[in-house]
Chain A
């Protein structure tokens, strides 16, 4: 069964802290994605990666960076957390081989920045 896991379900951090959100998939997928989800705004793409060490900015990359050193792992980094980054963060992965880009999602990390 396909599985995407995220390191934390709930996280509370202070303004200015460096925050790492980790995502791991066990499906050997080439593509991985980070979204943030806010009420009324739906899912917005922050970054995605189509291969190890490769990344592409999404719609809202400001204030975030990413790292993909291994195929199965994709990390989202908040260099200096701010209160407006309080949100639900969702990781997803997909296979290039399927053509139709179905994405598989993790359970999400609800981040609160105080």
Chain B
């Protein structure tokens, strides 16, 4: 069975600092990987996805993620965060050619302080 581990439940950073949100997954088959963002009192919005090809994926709002198959990781990064990036971030995985379901991590709450 697949699982997703987000290693940090909370990450506080100062504005304009770089940030990395960590995500590791376990799966016995090839996967698709996603990062979603949830702003306060809203639903989830897709930030970026890895389907195939280049392991460095660029998303909206200046975020990027790197797929590392050997380490089964898909860490999210941003070189300089803004106050408006304060949100909860979810990593998710699905099987290639398998179930329609996504398996989500428990989320990382990013707080950007002035």
The residues of A that contact B49 with a CB separation of less than 8 Å are 100, 102
Judged by a CB distance under 8 angstroms, whether A70 is at the interface is no
Contact B100–A101 (Cβ < 8 Å)? yes
Judged by a CB distance under 8 angstroms, whether A25 is at the interface is no
Across the two chains, which residue of chain A brings its CB closest to B97? A99
Judged by a CB distance under 8 angstroms, whether B13 is at the interface is no
Contact B104–A42 (Cβ < 8 Å)? yes
Across the two chains, which residue of chain A brings its CB closest to B107? A42
Chain B facing A: main interface SS: loop
CA distance A39 to B50 in the complex (A): 27
Contact B45–A42 (Cβ < 8 Å)? no
Segment from A11-19, A72-80, A103-111 that makes contact with B: A103-111
Judged by a CB distance under 8 angstroms, whether B113 is at the interface is no
Instruction: Please count how many residues in chain A sit with their CB below 8 Å of the partner chain's CB atoms.
Output: 27
Contact B94–A40 (Cβ < 8 Å)? no
The residues of A that contact B45 with a CB separation of less than 8 Å are 105
The residues of A that contact B43 with a CB separation of less than 8 Å are 4, 90, 105-108
Q: Which of B44, B97, B100 contacts A48 (CB 8 A)?
A: B100
Judged by a CB distance under 8 angstroms, whether A50 is at the interface is yes
Contact B90–A101 (Cβ < 8 Å)? no
Q: Distance (Å) between the CB of B104 and the closest chain A CB?
A: 5
15 A-B pairs whose Cβ atoms sit less than 8 Å apart in the complex? A33-B101, A40-B106, A42-B107, A43-B104, A48-B101, A50-B100, A99-B96, A100-B96, A101-B32, A102-B34, A102-B46, A104-B46, A105-B45, A108-B42, A108-B43
